Structure 1
Amino acid sequence: MELVFATNNLNKLKEVQSLIPSHIKLLSLKDIGCFEDIPETQNTIEGNAIQKAQFIKDHYGYDCFADDTGLEVELLNGNPGVYSARYAGEKRDANDNMNLLLKNLNGIDNRNAQFKTVISLILNNKQYNFTGICEGKITTSKHGEKGFGYDPIFQPNGHKQTFAEMDLSAKNSIGHRGKAVNQLVEFLNS
């Protein structure tokens, strides 16, 4: 079976490849000759995942899946949420995003947050969604060099390390994307 993972994020691609069984050949956007920006204009995480998968199916014809992930902070009414990558501006700079979030939570005790990933799969012209959530809190400073995005300031519940301090297998075993991908894999294996 061949599936396209509709992402230009090489970190996500690497993370997901480590979870997909070997009988599924994972194709990247580069593999199918897609070098354009895929639209992400919806106002929900689910909407963006669906939009990206549908774009690849409509324009390239491949069975595919796409994901969208957001960091939802309780005190900020679920923000940055769908705007997580652009929280500090269109530059999509992870350090700027983390610095703005830390500034916005400065002196605040309630630092509860969750990462939410939605994967939208289009297979045989049918659409399926899988959701993974990892609850935790925002730290007061950055810790760790691994991972990407908000990983240096997100500490999952029940753990003393941030995602950026964990190795990939530990992060995948408890993380939002790992949970959503595991649901996807279970579905594909059934």
Structure 2
Amino acid sequence: MLTEVSKQTLGQKSAFDRIAEFASSDIFERMFREGMDLVEETAAYLDGDGRQEARGLERAAALAYASESMRLTTRLMQSASWLLVHRAVREGEMTPRDAHDPKYRLGARTVCSAEKQPLAELPMRLLDLLERSKRLYERVDRMEVSLFEASETPPENPVNAQLMRLQAALGASN
């Protein structure tokens, strides 16, 4: 097994390092701002114009509206929770190790990632929010995979193999 120095030499970072780096990045700041803006916009729509638009829908469309608005809010709650955890890391309120805990992972994938095509009779604004929430959720999901599930094993390359042989020959320990 490679030592921490060897991992750094090979340009590898632990999941904790990746989480801390991401949480302090401009990419995170933009994603966070976009996510929170979308949450606010959606809440205002569902409590205002969306409520009025839903009243004018026929039965099948009204049921679809209820179902899709639940999918919308579930996506946004999952995404916002994930983003808030990483903001807590940035603010020093949580450690990257805490954020790595499975209880803070993105959830409800079955509901949030369903490829169900919403009814065309649904209000255009709801359809737009659904699409934007889906894109946000997918971006958060891809980021989570890159932060948490990236392999922490050294890449297979000649330098790595030589370092491992050298460590074995010299009796280096972890």
TM-score by length of 1: 0.22
TM-score by length of 2: 0.23
Which one has a larger percent strand, Structure 1 or Structure 2? 1
Q: Which protein is bigger by CA-based radius of gyration?
A: 2
- Structure number with higher relative contact order (C-alpha < 8 Å, ≥ 6 residues apart): 2
